[in-house]
Every structure is written in structure tokens, then in C-alpha cells.
A = this chain, B = another copy of it.
Amino acid sequence: MTERQWTVYLSGEIHSDWRERIRDGVAAAGLPVRLVSPVTVHEDSDDCGVAVFGSEPDKFWHDRKGAQLNAMRTQTLMRDADLVVVRFGEKYKQWNAAFDAGYAAALGKPYITLHPEQHDHALKEVDGAANGVAREPEQVVQALAFIIRGDMPTAAHAAAAAAE
């Protein structure tokens, strides 16, 4: 009997390497996890709508076409996911990340937030509906290892995390 595969949606910030760090950690641990994400190439995510459905002179509708095309990917993948990770980086408004958290919450889908302490107060509602708050991507990997296999973080993991 094959192992259950878990699908984890990685929402939010696209300007740091957090997705790669989770991907590497998952691979290193050999976890049966399919990681899925929005399109993370910023310009493509902005311009896809007009590239596919035709150009718009007004930036508002240019954005609308892109947002709705992206949403076909993101909503499908999020509905499909077992768990969601929502990352808030140090900069930008990142309202789409908070939107995804609310979307997951209303679907009854457990999520983990991943953000520096500086955002704690501003994110208190988003954290309040989360099942975990992580500071580093490696903690997300550890959480997945525990959730899926019951593996506790090893000292090595702990050291690695501490060394960040």
C-alpha cells in the first residue's frame, strides 16, 4: 500500500527563497509532499491576463485580467490542498497572502503562517485562525515531518534552525 501523498499550498511572498528552502527540506527528509504555489514570476503574474486575453489600455483592467487568470490556478490548487502555508515577508502589503489565509480559513483548511516577529501584532487575526506560526521555512518542514510521519525535530534540525 503506497504512502499517502500530502499536498501543501505555499502562498505569499515571492521575493525571497523560502519556497526553495521548504522544497529542499522536504526533499532531504524524503517527505511524500507535493508542493504547489501560485506563479511566482512577478511580471508573468502581472501580465498573463493581457498576454492571453488581449491588451488593455487601462491598468486597472490590465490587472483585473491577470488577477482572474491567476485565480483559476490558485483557487483550484488551494481547494485541492491538505494544508496551506502563508508567508508574509518584510516588505510590501502582501494582501493576496492575507486573502489566501481567509480563503483557507473559510474552507476549513488548516494553515501555518510564516513571518518575522515584527508582523505579529498586525497579523494577529490571521495568526489567530492559523494552526501554527513559524519564523523560518525549516520549521515548516519540521511541522510537515511531524504531521505526516510523527517525526520530531532532531538536534541537527534544531541547530540548523537556530543557526538561521
Contact = CB atoms under 8 A, between A and B. Distances in A.
Interface in A52-77: 52-54, 58-61, 63-73, 75-76
Interface string A90-122: 001111111111111111101010000001111
A44 interface: yes
Prevailing SS type, chain A contact patch: helix
B76 A83 contact: yes
Given A98-B99, A99-B101, A108-B108, A69 B132 contact: yes
A4 B34 contact: yes
Nearest to A146: B48
A126 B99 contact: yes
Contact of A125 (B32, B59, B71, B126): B71
A69 B36 contact: no
Given A76-B83, A92-B122, A152-B51, A67 B128 contact: yes
Nearest to A120: B60
A158 B86 CA distance: 35
Contacts of A103: 102-103, 105-106
Interface of A: 1, 4-6, 32, 34, 36, 39-41, 44, 47-49, 51-54, 58-61, 63-73, 75-76, 80, 82-83, 88, 92-108, 110, 112, 119-129, 131-135, 139, 142-143, 146-148, 150, 152-153, 158
7 contacts: A44-B150, A53-B139, A63-B120, A98-B98, A99-B126, A100-B102, A102-B106
